[in-house]
Every structure is written in C-alpha cells, then in structure tokens.
Amino acid sequence: MRVMLIWVLIALTCRCQAAEQATIVVRPADEIGPVNRLVFGNNQLAYIDARDEYGNRGAGIWDPETRAPVPQYADLAREAGITVNRWPGGCGVHYYDWKRTVGPLQDRPDQQFGLPEFLQFCAATDSIPILTIADYRGDERDAADLVEYCNAPNDGSNPGGDKDWAAVRAADGHPQPWGVLWFEYGNETWHGGHGRNDRDSPRPKLAPEEYARRYLDYRAAMRAVDPSVKLGAVFLYALDEWNRPVLEIAGEQMDFGILHTYIPGFRGDTEPESYRRLMEACVACGPQIEHRYDEMNALVREVTGRDDLQWAITEYNGSFVGQRQSPPFRQSLCNALRNAEHLRVMLQPRHGIALANFWQFANEYWGMVRGYVHEGQQPVRQANFYVFKLYREHFGDTLIECDVQCGRWDFAGGARVNARFGEPRENEIAEENLLPDDYQWRLSDSPVVNQRVEDGTIIAEFSGPDTNYYHATVTIPAEPHTGYLVEGEIKTVGLETSRGVGFQVGDARGWTQTRSAVNHGDLRGDTDWTPVTAEYVTLEDTEAIAITARRIGHDGGEDTITGTAMYRLLAVREFTAFNAGAVPELSVNAAKRADGTVTLIIVNTNLDEAVPATIAISGGEGGAASAWSLVGSEPWSHNAGNEEQVSLVETPAERVEQGWRLVLPKHSLSAVEIHP
C-alpha cells in the first residue's frame, strides 16, 4: 500500500436540506456503451520475506496445507464478482523477486503463496490476472522471463535462451500457458522505493525520464517473448511534473497508463463533530475524480496526439489512514458510497478505463472482507464488499441514459475534495501576478541546515542527519475560499537523500493550527532549475498564505541528507478551482439487460433524510420492480468491530401512475431492477 502525506482542507460543515421528491426517467433506447466488468477488480497481497499471513497465505485467501484457495474466500470473490486480480500488491513490489516465488515448495518455504498459487486463485475465481513488475530491482530480462514463465509453450523453445521458464511452470503444475495479458511496470514509482537496498545507500528514486526509457526497454523485451502482452506505465494522479516527461518519451508506444486514485484523504483521529464533514467528502468527490481523468486524457492528446490510450486504475479507495480513536472511516458506509461513485465514473466509456482494482480484498488494513479462517475466524463482509455484490447481482450489461431531478446541497470542501456549490464552473487562472517584485523570505533558525538568501533565492545546504526543513517562508495576503497557483523553480546540487525538496503552500497560521496545506516537488541529486507548481484553496477564514521552501523529513531520523537545494519564486496567481456544482441528492447509474430489464444503482447522498423517488421508463411501463439497499444507522457505520452495523435490506417498490415509487434510505446505496 502506498505511503503518502495527506494535506487536508478544513472547512465549515454544510448540512443537507430536507429531502425533496425526486424523479428518475430512464431512457433504454439511448445506449452509452457496454458495461466493462473489468473495472470490478481487486488487489491480492504476497510480500517477499513477510510474515506467514502474506508470503504463505496471501492475506488469508490461500491455504498452504491443502495448496488451494481458502474455500470461503474463493466463494466471497465470486460473490463480489471480482473480475481482475492484481499481484503481488502495492509498494511491496518495489524489490519483489518473482523468481523466488516459483519452483519447488521446499525451495521457497516462506513463499507458499507465490506466482503459481496466485494464478491458480485467479482460475478458481473466474478472474484474470494483472502482474506488477519490480521497479527498483532486476531488469528487463527478469520481466521477459516472467512473460516466458506465464505464456511460453512448454516445448523446449525457451525464447529467453537462459533458464527454461516454461518448464518451471510445467513443474509447478500447469503445463499449458497461462496466457497472462496485463502487466504493469512498477508501483507508484515516482515516490521511490520504500526502504533501501543496503544501509549505506539512500532510498533509490527513478527520474521520470529514466523511468520512461526503462519502460520502453522492458516493453520491447517482454513483447519479444509474447507480442500480445500489454505493459502499463505509472502516472501520478496530481502531478504533471512526472506525467509529461513520461508521455514525451514513451507515450506514443505505451500500451496503457496506470493511475491510483485516493480521495478523499484524511490522516489521524478527529473529533466527532468532524466525522460528518469527512463523510460528505466521500459522496461529493465523484465529479472531481472524473475531472482529473478528463485532464489526463487531455494531457495525453496534447503531448502525443493520441486519443486511444487506455487506463488501469490499479488502486483506488478513500484514503483514511491512522484512525485509532475515531471510527475506521475506510470501512464506513459513506466510504462504500464513495467507491460506488468511483465505479460509476470508471464505467463511463469516454474515460477509457480498461480495468480497475479496488485496494484491497482480504484482511490487512483495508480488506473488504476480514477474518483469518486458519485462526478460527469467520470472514466478515465490510461495507465496501456490498458495493461489488450489488453491482454483480443487479446491474445490467449495457449502460443507458437517465434524467434525474432531485434536491441539491452545498459542500464547503475538505479532505482534499473541492467545495461544491451553485452551478458548475471550470478552472480559471487570473493573469495578474500577486507576487511582489521585492518579495522577502523570512528565515527561522534551523539547527541542521545552513541557509541564506541571495537575490531572492534561498540556498539551503544540508549536511548530515535527517531533518524536517521548513525554515524559509514568504507570506502573501489572501482571500477566503480562493484558489492560489504558486509557480517556482528549484535546483539541486549533489542532494543525496531518500526524500527530496519542494514547495509547501498553506494557511499562514500554520499546519498545527489549520491542518491546511499542499506539498509539491520532490527533487534530489543534480538537477537544473526545474519548474514546481502548487495549487492551494484557502479556508473560509484565511487572511494570508505561506509559501515555504520545504523538505519533509524527521529530525534525528535514520535518513541522511547532504548537498544543496536552491528555491526561487516566479509568480502567484489567483485561480477559480473546479467546482462541480451543488451535490445532487441522488447519483444514478443505469443499465439494461438483453431481456429488457432496466437496472439502476443509486447513491443517496443526503446524510439526514430518506429521499422519495419516482422511477419512470421512457417508452415503456415496465413490470415487476425490486430494490435492495445498503444501509447503516450513521454515515460512519461499519462492520470492522464486534458488531455488524452495515447490511443489505429490501426496499419496497410501489407501483404508481408515473412508474415506480421508492423511498431511498438516507446515506444509502440502492440497486433497482424493473423487469419487462
């Protein structure tokens, strides 16, 4: 699982208004496209040199004693309709050596759930695999050998010319090729490998240019073994400083791009009065995700001229981390609604989503099912599980249009989700530069960093122990609820460190008081002057913003840092942040089956009230109707404790003159079927 800092915009809480009567008109004749069920994928875990639960049991899905999937988990995967499984999972892949996970079991006593076992799990659950290749160990030959193991015929042809990997596969119990199509080169490569290859060297990190060149080398080597395979390249959800160079070098030949999508984001505990704001962010974030996917497709067209690049969203979820006293928001009902909204977005053909993988299936911190069978526990379905179950059991095969009229409510913004109010509007950047020509850096004492100002440039010399550097700041007056685009440049000389340098922009009252800031840039080594930009939206009571020369670290930590970083500012401009408009109480995804059945998945975003709704079918009346709803008493209800607080219930559907009338429970996900 990725490690990341989450910068949170703290905003006033908005309350949903009393629910209005809603109307949904479904138009079966207006088809959007086929339902791509490959977006209903998931992640399975198998870490190298990890404890038994991962290396031998795949976080609970594999039984090393019977050498077979745990029956309960295989059944649950089929019940959830998982179509794609990703392996070996997250940042554990940085140094993952797949060759240690194949061959005789006596040679891999701590890797009983290896590659052949994972592929067996996929076969047992009617899913296809996507395999992630290490980015901070090995080379393109290892990747080509992986393709040979998976796909080469066991006929002695040995296309790699070294070890006969097809013969190894046959000895592992599968003489026929597995026919694996999807591979991805690395996992969140832009942040570097977690940990080090040895104690004396900094954590490695590939520059985007080097990554792109290596991607092309890996792709060529892999396709020389099997021309049908597809290799994905890693992109960063919110930082084009990585994305653009990767596209410039490799975009024309790229098979597909990879994005991980983790919003909302919140770290740590919070007071009960803030729970609601986080849950509102869950049901308000869908259009922001959609907007980012549109931006990524536009960037691809700009740089490469392509409009056919597909995407794999191989990790997605709400990023709620570190709750110890607060409810486990990641397992909450409203986070399940967030993931239902994300599925709605990814199913829209215009985004070009080829496949997607929820993070993640079994146990660990995030599992949508929890409970180790070998320890006598019964697996418990979490709220996120039921989203997949409802889609599998009740959603059709062809997306269709629908019109929705319902109440709306304003969201003040928070947890990395933009405010939503009024009518939609796009980003607009003002031309005026608000940065004074004679701007002044304010320096505070740093016990570790030797810093000075020369001609408006901060020169910071690092030497020795890990340090959290935030000691040079420029403060500029600002307006509440306003976006500011900060443009600067950074140059590094011999900067040896596992965590690089960048700019931080936030409320001038400070992170401790407001918990409101964004960070951009992660430069290290030897670089020329490199543009670094950051977008920050102020709070409702902001009076000034602080722009800080930044390096995130831990004073006295194990990391070391030597070298020089230079920071200078170029411009500060106001911008109008993307606003998707007030949040509709109902978000509807509609599809039909070949037999004429109309199906809907409906999110009720009203956290306070049930919403009465009438569903009508354009051009027909429909016959019997049935509905089921995922409900809980509170938006943050969950099944992660001793009591299951979230469950499925049947929702009555009443025949009326206009169609069918339902009362959709507050903060709920409902599936509706209307048969011909």
**Beta-sheet pairing, 256-261 with 182-185:** unpaired
Tens digits of per-residue pLDDT, 43-68? 999 988 767 899 999 999 999 999 99
Using the predicted structure, report yes or no on whether residue 39 has a pLDDT greater than 60. yes
The pLDDT > 70 percentage for the chain reads 95
Segments forming the whole domain that contains residue 527: 428-576
Which two structure tokens, joined as six digits, stand for 556?
A: 């006295």
Per the document, the length of the chain is: 676
Helices (H) and strands (E) in the chain, counts: 12, 37
The CA distances from residue 13 to 159, 338, 410, 676, in Å, are 61, 18, 9, 43
232 compared with 14, residue with greater pLDDT = 232
Report yes or no on 215 lying in a domain.
yes
Handedness of CA 442, 448, 454, 455 (dihedral sign): negative
Strands 265-267 and 256-261: unpaired
Q: Are residues 306 and 441 in the same domain?
A: no
Output Rg (C-alpha) for the chain, integer angstroms.
Answer: 26
Residues 52 and 164 grouped into a single domain: yes
- One domain for residues 460 and 355: no
Does 468 fall in a domain?
yes
Residues 436, 350, single domain; the answer is no
Contact predicate 48/100, CB 8 Å? yes
Residue written as token pair 């190894």: 168
- Report if residue 265 sits inside a domain: no
User: pLDDT at position 155, please?
Assistant: 95
The SS3 call for residue 285 is: coil
Residue 342 shares a structural domain with residue 449: no
**What's the mean pLDDT in 570-593?**
95
442 and 389 inside one domain:
no
Do 451 and 366 share a domain, yes or no? no
pLDDT per position as a tens digit, 2-15: 322 222 332 333 34
- Whether 448 and 366 map to the same domain: the answer is no
pLDDT in tens, 555-565: 887 778 999 99
CA distance 395 to 389: 10
Domain match, 447 and 299 both? no
Considering the domain architecture, whether residues 82 and 217 belong to the same structural domain is answered as yes
Taking Cα atoms as reference points, which of 649, 643, 648 lies closest to residue 380?
Answer: 643
Q: In this structure, is residue 493 part of a structural domain? A: yes
Tell whether 668 is covered by a domain: no
Average pLDDT, stretch 633-642? 96
Task: Please identify which residue in the block is written with the tokens 């409510």.
Answer: 409
Greater model confidence, 531 or 147 = 147
- Do 453 and 374 share a structural domain? no
Q: Is residue 459 part of a domain?
A: yes
Q: How confident is the model at residue 18 (pLDDT cuts 50, 70, 90)?
A: low
State the number of CA atoms in the 13 A half-sphere of 633 facing the CB.
Answer: 4
Where does a domain end: 346, 368, 394? 394
Residue 419 lies in a domain: no
d(CA 127, CA 411): 38
> What mean pLDDT value characterizes the chain?
92
d(CA 40, CA 125): 13
Domain boundary among 548, 576, 604: 576
**CATH number for the domain including 124?**
3.20.20.80
427-461 residue pLDDT tens: 888 999 999 999 999 999 998 899 999 999 999 99
Alpha helix segments (H runs only) across 431-560: 511-514
What is the CATH classification number for the domain harbouring 509?
2.60.120.260
Q: Which two tokens stand for residue 584?
A: 């509709």
pTM over 0.85? The answer is yes
Q: How confident is the model at residue 203 (pLDDT cuts 50, 70, 90)?
A: low
Decide: 398 and 404 in contact? Cβ < 8 Å: no
Residue range 585-601: average pLDDT?
97
Q: Is residue 544 part of a domain?
A: yes
CA 44/CA 364 separation, integer angstroms: 10
Q: Are residues 178 and 128 in the same domain?
A: yes
Any residues with CB less than 8 A from the CB of 670 and at least 6 apart, and which?
600, 601, 602, 604, 627, 628, 629, 630, 651, 662, 664
pLDDT at 223 over 90: yes
576, 608, 641 - which closes a domain: 576
Number of folded domains in the chain? 2
Q: Is 90 exceeded by the pLDDT of residue 162?
A: no
